[in-house]
Amino acid sequence: MLGLFAIDLDHVLAHTAGLWDELRGQRIFITGGTGFFGCWLLETFVHATETLGLGATAVVLTRDAEAFRRKAPHLASHPALQFHVGDARSFPFPDGRFSHIVHAATTSSAPQPPRLLLETIVQGTRRTLDFAVHCGATKFLFCSSGAVYGKQPASITHVSETFSGAPDPLDSRSAYGEGKRMAELLCSLYAGEFGIQAKIARCFAFVGPHLPLDAHFAIGNFIRDGLAGGPIRVSGDGTPFRSYLYAADLAVWLWSILFSGTSCRAYNVGSNVETTIAALAATVAHIFGPTMEASIALQPSPEQLLERYVPCTERALGDLGLRPIIDLEEAIRRTIAWHRADAKTTSGV
């Protein structure tokens, strides 16, 4: 696996440069450190540590250290990173003290039955919070999800953190959102009982290097189609609204919330610039070139309410000065370029 481009690493450091001093000489513990979010966290952590001379180290929880070594040897062998084998629900506690914890385990792409997904989210969060108490960590970032709001009403263009909706508890597809809701509550309970500063990042949709192209992420699937020569295929009617934050901006937001966010005050993490899935497919096709086509499988139904999954990000802007910096077209271009370069590296070209 190819490392991140220098332009992205420098972007993250430039927009977080004043925040890293509290990690000087400290240890940080990261769960979910080998997935999409995790790779960005690890690469930007290493870059900050090296560039700023922080002398900080990170211990990364992983179920399979050898698999990650094959996937990302440049990270697996870095002296600032140590890998701790275990499951988020039951891992043995590493020795020593840690100042910060990032709990990013259990992504929405995890192929698990709903019951197991729910248990993994809740038990994994409780185990990691127990470790925070055990090791004396003061700041704890929980990567939650916009799924906690349930289905976004068609009349609300951008859902805010004060929206009181919720997933349908009688729908098994709500396991992910309900699990994140319960995990957020656990964070609040531990903050109240043990004084942990629990930072909550409600994450929406993203694009960038390391995003799986074979999961259920529409933008990843479109880029996969384009890399294969097209056409870009939309399996539905193309009418749902989404927004996409580039992963370098995502890393800026996550580090900023960990270091400077208010405890037990949730922050939506994502772009507020909406687009339909049909328009997104057309944008990806345009970036690949004038001969690339986009096809939409279904015709929209006049009776169907519009589906939206778009955050209001005014709180992140007002509290922390966070906003999307890299626009969607540039984000797609960088993601395509990274996958092409990674394919050449993997094939030995």
Cis peptide before 240 (omega within 30 of 0): no
Query: What residues of the chain score a pLDDT lower than 70?
Result: 107-111, 347-349
pTM: 0.97
Structure confidence at residue 45 (pLDDT) = 98
**Residue 311 and residue 37: Cα distance in Å, rounded?**
19
Single out the residue of 265, 245, 259 nearest to residue 201, CA to CA. 265
Give the side-chain half-sphere CA count within 13 A for 204. 31
Instruction: Please report whether residue 1 resides in a domain.
Output: no
Instruction: Please report whether residue 273 resides in a domain.
Output: yes
Average pLDDT, rounded, for the chain = 95
Provide the residue range defining the domain that includes 23.
6-347
Counting the structural domains of the chain, the total is: 1
Structure confidence at residue 344 (pLDDT) = 81
Instruction: Please report whether residue 49 resides in a domain.
Output: yes
Instruction: Please report whether residue 268 resides in a domain.
Output: yes
Structure confidence at residue 267 (pLDDT) = 98
Structure confidence at residue 107 (pLDDT) = 59
**Residue 66 and residue 64: Cα distance in Å, rounded?**
6
Structure confidence at residue 109 (pLDDT) = 54
Instruction: Please report whether residue 182 resides in a domain.
Output: yes
Instruction: Please report whether residue 236 resides in a domain.
Output: yes
Instruction: Please report whether residue 195 resides in a domain.
Output: yes
Looking up residue 175, the CATH number of its domain turns out to be 3.40.50.720
Instruction: Please report whether residue 259 resides in a domain.
Output: yes
Structure confidence at residue 2 (pLDDT) = 86
Structure confidence at residue 313 (pLDDT) = 98
